[in-house]
Chain A
Amino acid sequence: MNEPVRIQQEDFSQDAEIAALKASSLRIGGIATFLGCARDFSEGRNVSEISFEAYGSMALAEMRALREEAITRFDLLDARIVHRVTTVRAGDNIVFIAAGAEHRAAAFDACRWMIDQLKQRVPIWKKEITPQGEAWVTPHP
């Protein structure tokens, strides 16, 4: 839980992640967060479940590098990234990103940058399970 970057099967608590972020510095004046969660509909099909797979060691190393880059690039005071790798159903949490900065602009910018970079750089794949069958997801731009 104290590790700011994690890949895990189990669900996470946004409150606990934000509390950990706030505890890292009393200079934080703004925290922006992104929560990615599972949808029940995609590309015109109902989705029953989404199954995730990762190249675990590389994914974790890339997420750690991404966090360090964000802290430097946006002058953050701290950041956290948690991604679940398991099978989820509609409404379940998938990924959580939080950026803490002195002011809101940097926090907002960093949060968006981190999720955009994660999608491009972190070796994780998702497969949608639908009543018609299973299909690996083609990434969206």
Chain B
Amino acid sequence: MIRVLFFGPVADRVQTREMQFDHTPGMTLHDITHKVGMQYPGALSIVSFIAVNQVQVRDKQLALHDNDEIALMAKFSGG
């Protein structure tokens, strides 16, 4: 199972805080962002950072493993 987390402005656009997808062999980060983007293009347009298991990643060809946690995040505005 792949968990996809949403926070702040992205969560508002997706109208949920978490989605789950079955993990399949050869699955990449791009597969997940594509699925989310197809359902919620408006949400993906404000995603500036992606983390896998709480580490920022830029390579969407990154291979995913079962139980990975992905976060699709808008620009940060803390402080």
- Identify the A interface with B (CB < 8 A): 36, 52-55, 57-59, 61, 83, 94-95, 115, 118-127, 136-139
Q: Does B74 contact A (CB under 8 A)?
A: yes
- Number of cross-chain contacts by CB at 8 Å: 68
Do A57 and B76 contact each other (CB < 8 Å), given the known contacts A125-B9, A136-B12?
A: no
Q: Which residue of B lies closest to A83 (CB)?
A: B78
Do A122 and B78 contact each other (CB < 8 Å), given the known contacts A53-B8, A55-B5?
A: yes
Do A57 and B54 contact each other (CB < 8 Å), given the known contacts A123-B71, A136-B12?
A: yes
A94 pairs with B79, CB closer than 8 A? yes
- Identify the B interface with A (CB < 8 A): 5, 7-9, 11-12, 49, 51, 54, 71, 73-79
B78 pairs with A95, CB closer than 8 A? yes
Q: B11, B49, B75, B77 — which one has the most chain A CB atoms within 10 A of its CB? A: B77
Interface secondary structure of A, over-half rule: mixed
B71 pairs with A55, CB closer than 8 A? yes
Contacts of B74 in A (CB 8 A): 125, 136
